Structure formats: structure tokens, C-alpha cells
A and B are shown apart, each in its own frame.
Chain A
Amino acid sequence: MATPKLAYQLPSLSSAAVENTASLFRIIALALISATAIASRLFAVITYESVIHEFDPWFNYRATKLLASKGFYEFWNWFDPTAWYPLGRVVGGTIYPGLMATSGVIYYILQAVNLPVDIRNICVLLAPGFSALTAWATYMFTCEMKDKSAGLLAASFIAIAPGYISRSVAGSYDNEAIAIFLLMFTFYLWIKAMKEGSAFFGTLAGLFYFYMVAAWGGYAFITNMIPLHVFVLILMGRFNYRIYVGYCSWYAIGTLASMQVPFVGFQPVKTSEHMAALGIFGLLQLVAFAELVRSHVASRQFKILLRSAVALLAVVGIALGALMTAKGWIAPWTGRFYSLWDTEYAKKYIPIIASVSEHQPTAWPSFFMDLHVLMFLFPVGVFILFKEMRDEHVFVIIYAVVGSYFAGVMVRLMLTLTPVVCVAAAVALSTLLDTYIDPVEPVEESTVAAGSSDADAAKKTGKKAAEAATEPTAQSTKASTSAPKSGIYGLDSRILTVANVILLLSYFVQHCTWVTSNAYSSPSVILSSKNRDGSLYIIDDFREAYYWLRQNTEPDSVICSWWDYGYQIAGMADRPTLVDNNTWNNTHIATVGKIMGSSEEKAYPILRKHDVEYVLVIFGGLLAYSGDDINKFLWMVRIAQGIWPDEIQEKNFFTARGEYKLDHDATPAMKESVMYKTSYYRFAEMFQGHAVQDRARGQTLPSVGPTLDYLDEAFTSENWIVRIYQVKKDDILGRDHKSANAFMDGKRRKRLRPTSHRKLLPVKKSTE
């Protein structure tokens, strides 16, 4: 074999030694990537503590605790009477249990070997742990796409990409924590099954699909991605029996398994979201049958046969689909699904979905924030894959298109885009590096455009040249010793490009670290600000108030708060709530909205009817905390208006000029509302005669605050963020509280100070 011309000399090693060293390096690199993935997600634990974040994770944590303490069957049959008081909630049948089951299994294993790890720490550290697995799964997946070096790049990207970190920092104990690993691993297994025609990998893909179904509602993404891939391959005329075996084993096993999850049940055969998978399954049988027939029948007859069969099947299929939809056997698309196509849909018809910030369309800057340099490498990678266009590349291309669309529609779906961006970017970057690091110099041909410095062009030429060089027939008269030190093949342009890539990647790492530590590592249960000396000042109002509720109220006192805090109250205060973050009953939520939006007299009977003992509101006016209830108030009103348009109207809360005002110009409806009164009750006294400032909204309030007749202030946290009011019991004399209060106020002025101590002992007043 002729020696190709080399740009620089490589040490001569046996190929076995190179292979072994490379494999060792890969293992070390993967271990380091995993460690980085875990470490970069620990900012929240280091800055704050090992605590469950935000809202939904609190429910998952609570469910996991029950699973860990009472076992799986108890968990499966769990009816939670404290949620959605007085309705209760069948928890076992309305959740994806994968996350809790995973933590539970880990907990039991650790218990079995006598390692006493607190269930909370397992929950907190589950997401970082699984992110290491995600890095590994992405590595495997990308290896199938290109090669191992691309795999390592993809793994390191996914390990620190903020788009994924945002949902998987320590403490963010949510379904997404394990779902992304399952997504990537199921995709990897599918690619493997499809490539090799292996029923084994198809079955594994089905099992991991089942795990995914048990873990996250986003499993529908897999349910539709794989059929779409197969469909496109069939359209491209690339049907083969490997795809047939892979898909059928995945679909049969995966669907049957997924139906075992109670929350999913018969959906895979009844709802529209799952019909694509079923349809492709049928189509594959037909295509396979057609292939069989074709191999036995002459081609002219086959054409006629095919045409009539296609026509017949189309008619039958459409008729069947229409009939089943009309009969209601196939459920129509859900609202959440529509909101994926029409971003205005939710705002119009389901305000409860639109009111969640993570369901808003993505802003452009957040693409850069979440993906940084990957955003630019992503299209390049897709382009490179387009050029090669193997069967598995089609998958990544489809994924890229679909993922980009969804990420544009909803902020939270940025999460599903991130893996494919990492894969495509890794392919792009690895191609670039392959070209520039490969010491083999291409044989100079006159056709090569020497002036081109474009990466793609370079790659192209590099590739051609490399092929040419490795061909044994190539003229290799030139010795491989001396290399030109400059020029397009020279060391200088190589070093320049590689250095540029390294610089780019270092910026990427820096950006990821910065974004992670600043934007994504706040538990939101604990707030913080900086002291003047730069030290961290912890604002722990939420836990203060929740713990007060837990310790000093009756265990069955019902708390009425906006649904955002339902899971937290259940988790931290351990008290029944009217509504929580599982927003399954819109009317119940609207009831709470009505309570908050109407006057005390109107709200009181509703509160009493629902056995409410305490009303809890979040108020950020003192601390300029903008995520408080007053800022969410309009959503409450809107949702309530959706149910009771006659009793509560959004327009009543805006001034004549259409402004949302809380100061002197506030509308009567606003000033009378329970929300306004409970937020600002006795707030003016803080300012001792100075102008009363609501710092969250920058408005000056009336110097005389609202008074309460039907509620009593029971607790207010240190920074006034959480305010808890007790609902008064019915007046013992049967008066309404307003007149009772007026009477008491009138009487109090006349009454003398009561004697300070009741006499119980035969007491003689001391002589002093």
C-alpha cells in the first residue's frame, strides 16, 4: 500500500495499540462527560441546599415518599382525599408512575444493601444522575449516525446544553428528568433495530418505550416519530424487511406494554394521537404483503393489482376512520394538541393552559440562551446528514424538522429539540475536525478550488482526496516526508481552524456554566438576594409559612390558594387544598378564581361551603417579588369569567383607560376583591405615614389600607410573601360578620379595659 502524503508525522504504533488506547480514552472521556453532566447540575444544591424545586416536583416527591414508605400496591391504589377538596383525586390512575417507580426502586436497592440514603436525596439527585445516562445514550445514538468521535462530541454537548439542564438540575424532580434519557435511548434502540433488522433491539425499544410511556406524557413524540420515520422511508422507496422486523417488534411489544399503564389504558387504540403508529403498522403489513406478491407475480399484473388495492384500501380506511371518529371510538384531538398547531388556540378556549408560562411560544433569544453555538452548527449537521442520507439519517432530519417546530411553539418543548441539536451539531463539528486533523493530505488535483476555506468545501475536498489517497491505485510517487507549512493543506490553516473550534467550544462551556448557574439553578421555593457584602441572603418565606401551617394548624384544615401552590402546600404543609397543579377540574379552579375576584360578602359563603379554614395568598409588594398573586390575578378573573360570565368580568378590574391599577385609581371591583384586600391588609402600616409603595408593581397605594370582616390575618411570613388568613366561623349570634364587626368597633370605644387577670386563687393584692 502506498504511503499517502502526511501534513504532520504521526508516531508509529501498531493498529491494535491505537485501537486500545482510543477505546481507553473514550471510556475516560465518557466518564468525565458524565461527571461534568452531574456536577454542572449541582449549582442549586451548592448555592442553596438539597431541596425539591418549584411546583410539580413537590407532588412527585410526595408520591415517591408514599411509594417508599407504603410500597407499590398502596401507591397504585392511592386515593388522595386532601387534593381537590372535597372531590379528592385518584392519584394512582392519573399519573405517569415511571419517575416515582424509578426512585422507589433505587431506594429499595439501597435499603437492601443497608445504605441509608434519604428518599429526598434520591429524588433531588435523580435528574443529574439520569443526565449522565442521557449523555451516554446520546453517545450511542450519534455513534450510529456517524462515528465514535461524533458520539463523544454529542455526549459532551448534551451533558452541558442549557436547554436540557433547565429541566434536569438537582432538585428538579420532574418527569422530564428521566424522560430525555428514555427518549434518546429508545431512539437509539430503534435505529439499531431498524439498521440490523433485529427483533431483539426492536423488543428492547418496545420495552424502553413502555418505560417512557410510564414516565412522561411526551411519549407521544416517540409514538409519532418512529412511524413518521418509517412512513418517509417507505415513500422514499426504501422499504426493506429490516424495517419491517424492527417496527413490528417495537410496535407490538411497545403498544401492549404501554397499555399496562393505567393512565394510558386503551388510548393507544382509541385516540387520534396514537393512530399514526397503528396506521403505519397496518401499512407495513400491506407493503410487506405487496412485496411478497410482487416477487411472485409479473410486473404488469402487479401494477394493476397495486392500483386497485390502494384505491380500495384508501376508501375503506377513510370510511373506517370517519365512522370511528363519528361514533366516538377514536377520541378527537385534545386541546393541548390543538394548541401545538395554533398558538392562539389556548388563549381563546383554554385559559388555564395559556396561563402557564412554560406553554408560551418561545422567544428567539431563548434559542441562543439554551443552545448557544449549537444553534449555528445544527443546520450544518442536518445538511451533512442530508448529503449522506442513510436510513438512520432520515430519522435525524425528520426529528430536526419536527423538533424545531415544536420548540418554536412552546418553551418547554425546547427540551425535545435539544438532543437532536446536539447530535446534528456533533456531526457537523466532528466532520470539520475530521477534515482538519486528519494528517493525510489530499492529492492535489487541478479541480480543487484552492481558495475555498469554507468548511463544507474543505470537507468535500478532504473527503475526496482522502478516498483518492487511500486507493491503492493512486499515484503515490511523491514521498510523504516534507509537508508544506502553509496553504490550504498546511499546518497553519489546520491550526487556525482547530483553534477556532476550540475557542468556540470554550465559549460554549462558559456560556453553559453561566446560564446554568444564573438562570436555571433557582429552586423557586427559596429565594435569595445579595447582601451588600456580596454574601447570599436567603429569603425563606414559603417554607416558613408552609411549616407554620404544618405545625400549628389542625391537620384537616382546608387551605384555599391559587392552584400554583397546591402541590407545595400538600408537600410542605401537608394540608388539604382546594385546587392544585394537576389542573384537571377547570370549574374548581374557577371557583377559587371567583373567591379571589369577588368581594368578601360574596366569597364568604363559597369559602364556608368548601369548608375552607385558611386562605393563602402570595404577596410580593414588600420585596418586589413579581411572581405573586396580584400579577396572576387577571388569569384568576379570566378563568372565573369563563364559568360565571355574569358574576365576574375582567373589564371591571381595569380602569376606564384600560390600565391595571392598584392605587387610588383602582376600580371598586378591584378594591373590594378578596385578593386585593388580603394582599394589602395592614400593609400601609409598614410605611408609618410615608407613601405606601407596592415595590413589585411600582404603584403608590392609598395610605389607609383595606379592612377585613370575614377573614382574620393568621400568619404573615417574614418578608410578607406568604399571607395566611383564617376564615371566620359563623357569628355566634347569627349576625353577618360585617355588622358584627361594626358593632364590636362601636362597643370597643366605650368599653373599659378589661381587668387583666381572672382570679382563680384566693388572691390578695400585693402591697406594692
Chain B
Amino acid sequence: MLLPRLPSSWTALTCIAVLLVPSGLSATSPNPAAFENSAVVRSIELGGATTQITTSYTVRSLKNKNAVYVFALSNDDASNTSWIEAKLKGSNTPLELKRSSDADEPIAFYELSLPQPLKVNETATFILTTVQSHASEPLPGSVRQTEPQALAYETGVYVLSPYDTLIQRIKLKSSTPDVISFIETSELDKFAEPGNKAVVKTGGTVTYGPFRNIRNSATEAFVKDEQQLVGVHYMYDNPVITIPELRRSAEISHWGSNLNIEDKVWLKNDGAKLKGHFARIEHLRQQVQPQTAQPHILKQVVFNLPSNVRDPYFYDTIGNVSTSRFRPASTKKIAGKKSSPLEKLSFLELRPRYPLMGGWNYTFTLGYDMPLEDWASYDAAQGAYVAAVPFLTAVPGAAYDDVEVKVVLPEGASIVDVNPPFDTTIEYQRHYTFLDTIGRPTITFKSKNLTDKHAGLIYITYKVDFRAHLQKPLAVAGGFLGLFLIATTFRRLDFRIHTNKKKQA
């Protein structure tokens, strides 16, 4: 990963470093003769705000020293894909993947560097996992308080690939068996096996395919002429949670040995909008009679926090929200084993002031403290501290549209190395708080279009001098000394014009 080289003197307040410029814009389109896809199976987990798509490519190499495999996504898919990862089947380590095409090209190509080049006729299976946000749309767009919610998802039926594909299948899985309808056209028969139905529904799963012998489909012409749009209309009985904005501020304090995290969260129920108005009586009725309850009404959000969280707080613009509940993780420690705070979780159940019907908003601030020793350690070899800061708190199934994470280092620290869990825009600033004199170096990460998959750790390496630690006590002591000196001087001065003899006596 490319890291910004910091200016040694902090003359410039901010310095923007754009990470990972799409390197090596290989304008050369992928070579269709390099591979052949023996089988491609795409399975789409239909969700609310996010949709997880897992595609497995079983490939056969057509030449020697074949080290780069290219995935293709249509431009639409690429634009709402917020997370992408490729692995070898059976392995847990993600492979290096980078986008090799510009955003304005009709097909998005992702180059996968293989760990070891393939020989002719050697096969491999890649698992490509992508997460799309806002791919499903409520249909109908608005429902009454007492009506259930349904979503519709559309996708191209053929998995695009610059290589020829022998057999391909696509599965759309709904979490409930309630699939209202799906698209079926005769156009689908073109690549389908003769005699077989091109589309089958079993339970909550709609399977398109198998389709055979699709030639290089990653071309504009194919997308235009051959690609078919298919879709599923399904009942979705969870709230569609969108977080339009998230502002996280993480403050590392060495004096307090504390990592404070404060999130300002904009929350929205992005499901079918409420038709008509909200009637409390209906809502109460649904609480009393669970069979009439509509689960797509967002009543609470559960935040999974690290186990070592203390003093959590939850408030909005007009004060504390008294309806939240914090369940700390069990504090039993296994002797001799230093467990990661992320292994066991505390739960913060946040219940907004009012139930969030479709289309309703709520904003709040959530914060908590954590002991710094669990999140930072001193690296004696480097003479620097390494701190890990969680990028965001995952709300399962939520889409994060605009996320800004600000990490505030101790006063007088100098940044050595910054390592975000994925590529983001990084800005350097200064932040003044709690009697600061020279300010604290601050790193701001700005990202758009994230999902709960992005809840990784930011690693920051920084140095703090011993002198920097003394900065604050000295400054405060100096301030008070000044005050006392002024007071002392003034007490010793006599401003009276007319001295009162009686008093002096």
C-alpha cells in the first residue's frame, strides 16, 4: 500500500493524500484467450439496503504463465458495488484485486493477481464476493402502517466475463420463502439448455440457468444486445436501514489512557414509505398482537460494541435518549490468554424516541470510552506507538452512504504511518481541545458508499516525545502563574487618589 510521506514540519495544516491512484491504467483490454470459465455460479442474497453477491468462477488456463485473471462487472453493478473481494476457493486470504478500467467505461474490469501463475489446462476456482448497497427498491414505494413491505431486485442474468463461459447459473435467494413474482421471458431460452426451463423457483430461491456456451460477454455489444434483465419481487420483513451520514471521532488520550469514540449517526428507515399517517393506536395494537406486527418498522438498532467498552452514552440534539439499554460483555478473563476486545461483544440497544416508519429519519450521537492499552501498544523497536481504531461499528445489513472518521492523536504526536483497512481519502488536520496549546494531529478518513463489511481497523503508528507529555501541565501551570503574578502586582499597587488617613492608621 502506498503511504503518504508526511511533511516533516507541520507548516501546512492539511495535506491531502489520495491513496491508490488507479495504477497502471492498462488500456489494453483483457486477453480472451487466456482463460476459459468452466463454470460460473452467482448467488445473490437478497437483502434490504445491502445485497451480498457471491460468484464462484471455475477456470481453466489456456496458456502458460497465466498470472492475471480479470473479472468484469457491468457499469451499473460496479457503481453500486461498495465492497469487492476475491479469494481462492478454500482459502481465507483475500487476493490482490484492482480495478483496471476507468469509471466511465461501459464495463468495469478488475484484475486479480494469482498467487502462482497457472500452466495450460490447470484449473482454479475463484470466489468473488461483492456487496451492493441500495440495489433493492421497495415496491410498492409506500405502504400503510398495517401493511407488509416488499422489495424488488433487478440484475443482468448473464455474469459478464472477458472469457468464454461453458456453463453459468444465477441464483437469487430471498430470506423468506415469500417471493411474490419474478421475471421470466422467452428471451432467456437463447443460451438455456433446450427442453429445460430457464428459470426455476424452489422455496425462496429463484434460479436462472444453467446457460451454456456464452462467448466473451464483457463487451458493450453483448450488454446492449444479449444481456437480459431479470428480477425478483420478494417480501422483506426487516427494516431497510440506511445510514446516510456517519461522523466518527476517535480520540486517543495518553494521559487518560483512553480511546474515546463518538459517532454522530443519521439513521433512516429506507424501506417502503409510510402511506398516510402514523396512528399510535395501530402501533399499540401491533405491540399487543404480535401476529399483526410489521417487522419492517424500525424500533431499535443493536450496535455490537467491543467488550471493553465503558461509559456508553446515547443522546440526540435535544438530550439523552432514555430508552437505550447497554449490555456489557461478560468480563470473565481467561487466564494467561490476552483476548482481543473484538472477540466478545457488548451490545448497545438503541431505541430511537419514536418508531421509525418507512422514510422516517432519526439522528443521534453515540459515544463510549475504551481502555487504551487494549487498542494501542508501544513498539520498542520503532520507538513508536501503534494504535488500532475501528473504522465503523457494523449494523448488520445497513448501508453507509457517507462516512467520515476522524482520529485525534495525543498532543505533540508525530505520525509515522497510517494504514486504513481499505482505500479512502485521507486528510491531515489539527484539532484543539482540552487546554491544548499546539493542537493535536488529526487524521480524517472520508469514504462514501460503505457497508457493514467495511468495519475494519485503522492502524496508526505515531511517536510521542516525553516532552510532549509535559506540554499540557506546563502550559496550565504557566497560565496560573501568570494569573497569580498579575493578581499579586495589582494588590501591591495603590490606585487611590486620596489616601484615607484614618484607614492607614
| A543: Cβ under 8 A from any B Cβ | yes
User: Contact: A712 with B319, CB < 8 Å?
Assistant: no
> Which partner residue on chain A sits nearest B316 by CB separation?
A547
Q: Spot the interface stretch: B239-247, B275-283, B370-378, B419-427.
A: B275-283
Instruction: List the interface of chain B (C-beta within 8 A of A).
Output: 139-140, 150, 152, 154, 179-185, 201, 231, 233, 276-281, 284, 316-320, 322-323, 353-354, 360-363, 432-437, 479
Which of A540, A756, A757, A764 contacts B353 (CB under 8 A)? A540
List B contacts of A716 (CB < 8 A).
278-281
Q: A115-B435, A543-B319, A551-B361 are in contact. Are A685 and B277 (CB under 8 A)?
A: no
Q: Which of B154, B181, B436, B479 contacts A764 (CB 8 A)?
A: B181
A369 to B6, CA, bound (A): 67
Q: List 7 A-B contacts (CB under 8 A).
A: A116-B433, A540-B322, A543-B353, A757-B139, A757-B233, A764-B182, A766-B180
Q: Which residues of B contact A713 (CB under 8 A)?
A: 277-279
Is the Cβ of A114 less than 8 Å from the Cβ of B140?
A: no
A507 to B139, CA, bound (A): 69
Q: Which residue of B lies closest to A111 (CB)?
A: B432
* B233 and A763 within 8 A (CB): yes
Contact of B277 among A49, A545, A726, A761 (CB under 8 A): A726
Q: Is A682 a contact of B318 with CB atoms below 8 Å?
A: no
Q: How distant is the Cα of A763 from the Cα of B316 in the complex, in angstroms?
A: 44
- Find out whether the CB atom of B353 lies under 8 angstroms from the CB atom of A766: no
Number of A residues near B (Cβ < 8 Å) is: 45
Contact for B183 among A115, A685, A763, CB less than 8 A: A763
Residue numbers in A under 8 Å from B179 (CB-CB): 766, 768
Closest approach, in angstroms, between the C-beta of A701 and any C-beta of chain B? 15
A762 within 8 A of B: yes
Q: Is the CB of A16 closer than 8 A to any CB of chain B?
A: no
Which residue on chain B has the smallest CB distance to residue A765?
Answer: B181
Task: Return the chain A residue nearest B147 by Cβ.
Answer: A756
B183 near A715 with CB under 8 A, answer no
A107–B498 alpha-carbon span in the complex (Å): 39
Query: Do residues A761 and B318 form an inter-chain contact, with CB atoms below 8 A?
Result: no
Q: Are B280 and A720 in contact (CB under 8 A)?
A: yes
Whether A766 and B181, one on each chain, are in contact in the complex, defined by CB atoms closer than 8 angstroms, is: yes
Give, as a whole number of angstroms, the nearest-CB distance from A262 to chain B: 30
> For chain A residues 147-183, which have a beta carbon within 8 Å of chain B?
none
**Min CB–CB distance A310 → chain B (angstroms):** 35
B320–A763 touching, CB < 8 Å: no
Is there an interface contact between B181 and A49, defined as CB atoms closer than 8 Å? no
B277 lies within 8 A of A712 (CB): yes
| Given A116-B433, A540-B353, A716-B279: A760 in contact with B284 (beta carbons within 8 A) | no
Within 8 Å CB of A552, what residues of B? 360-361
B140-A758 in contact (CB<8A)? yes
Q: Given A548-B354, A716-B279, are A757 and B180 neighbors across the interface (CB < 8 Å)?
A: yes
Is A551 within 8 A of B362, CB to CB? yes
Contacts of A113 in B (CB 8 A): 435, 479
**A682 and B181 contact, CB distance less than 8 A:** no
Q: Kindly list chain B residues whose C-beta atoms are within 8 Å of the C-beta of A763.
A: 181-183, 233
Which residues of chain A from 711 to 762 have any CB-CB distance to chain B below 8 Å in the complex?
712-718, 720, 726, 756-758, 760-762
Least Cβ–Cβ distance between A429 and chain B, in angstroms: 31
Which of B183, B281, B317 is in CB contact (< 8 Å) with A547?
B317
Q: Which residues of B contact A547 (CB under 8 A)?
A: 316-318, 353-354, 362
* Given A115-B435, A761-B181, 18 additional A-B pairs, CB 8 A: A113-B435, A113-B479, A114-B436, A115-B434, A544-B353, A547-B317, A547-B318, A550-B317, A716-B281, A726-B277, A757-B140, A758-B139, A762-B183, A762-B185, A763-B182, A764-B184, A765-B181, A766-B180
Most interface-central of A548, A765, A768 (chain B CB within 10 A): A548
A116 CA / B479 CA spacing, docked (Å):
18
Q: How far is the CA of A550 from the CA of B181 in the complex (A)?
A: 38
The closest CB in chain A to the CB of B143 belongs to A756
Q: Which 3 A-B pairs have the closest CB atoms?
A: A716-B280, A763-B181, A544-B353
In angstroms, how far is the closest chain A Cβ from the Cβ of B290? 17
In the bound complex, CA of A557 to CA of B38 (Å):
61
Instruction: Name the residue among A526, A547, A571, A685 with the largest chain B CB count within 10 angstroms.
Output: A547
Instruction: Tell me whether B284 and A544 are in contact (CB under 8 A).
Output: no
Residues 522-560 of chain A, each 1 if its beta carbon lies under 8 Å from chain B, else 0: 000010000000000010100111111011100000000
Give the contacting residue for B354; candidates A51, A715, A766, A768; CB below 8 A: A715
- Kindly state the separation between the CA atoms of A547 and B320 in the bound complex, as whole angstroms: 12
Shortest Cβ gap from B317 to chain A (Å): 7
The residue from A49, A538, A543, A686 contacting B281, defined by CB atoms under 8 A apart: A686
CA distance A396 to B320 in the complex (A): 45
Evaluate whether A766 and B182 lie within 8 angstroms (CB atoms) in the complex, with A540-B353, A726-B277 already known. yes
> Which residues of A are found within 8 Å of B284, using beta-carbon distances?
686
Contact flag A760-B319 (CB < 8 Å), given A713-B277, A717-B280, A726-B277: no
Interface residues of A in 217-258 (CB under 8 A from B): none
Please give, as numbers and ranges, the residues of chain B lying within 8 Å of A761 by CB-CB distance: 152, 154, 181, 183, 231, 233
- Closest Cβ of chain B to A745, distance in Å, is 15
A116 contacts B279, CB within 8 Å? no
Give the docked Cα–Cα distance between A543 and B353 (Å). Answer: 8
A420 adjacent to chain B (CB < 8 Å): no
**How far apart are the CA atoms of A50 and B315 in the complex, in Å?**
11
Q: Least Cβ distance of A535 to chain B in Å?
A: 12
In the complex the two chains form, what is the Cα distance from A429 to B433 in whole Å? 49
Contact partners of A49 in chain B: CB under 8 A: 319-320, 322
In the complex, the chain B residue whose C-beta lies closest to that of A568 is B318
Taking a contact as CB atoms under 8 Å apart, the answer to whether A757 and B150 are in contact is yes
Contact of A551 among B185, B322, B360, B435 (CB under 8 A): B360
> Does A767 count as interface, using CB distance less than 8 angstroms?
yes
Q: Are B432's CB and A114's CB within 8 A?
A: yes
A545 → B minimal CB distance (Å): 8
- Determine the chain B residues whose CB is within 8 A of the CB of A717 once the complex forms: 280, 354
- In the bound complex, do residue A548 and residue B353 qualify as a contact, i.e. CB atoms below 8 Å apart? yes
A756, B183: Cα distance in complex, Å: 18
Report Cα–Cα, A685/B281, bound state, in Å.
Answer: 7
Residues 568-597 of A contacting B (Cβ, < 8 Å): 571-572
Query: Could you tell me if B201 and A766 are in contact, using CB atoms closer than 8 angstroms?
Result: yes
Of B139, B233, B278, B318, chain A has the most CB atoms within 10 Å of the CB of B318
Please measure, in the bound complex, the distance between the C-alpha atom of A715 and the C-alpha atom of B318, giving whole angstroms: 19
Say yes or no: B323 contacts A114, CB within 8 Å.
no
Q: How far is the CA of A761 from the CA of B435 in the complex (A)?
A: 61
| Smallest CB gap from A116: residue in B | B433
Looking across the interface, which residue of chain A has its beta carbon closest to that of B361? A551
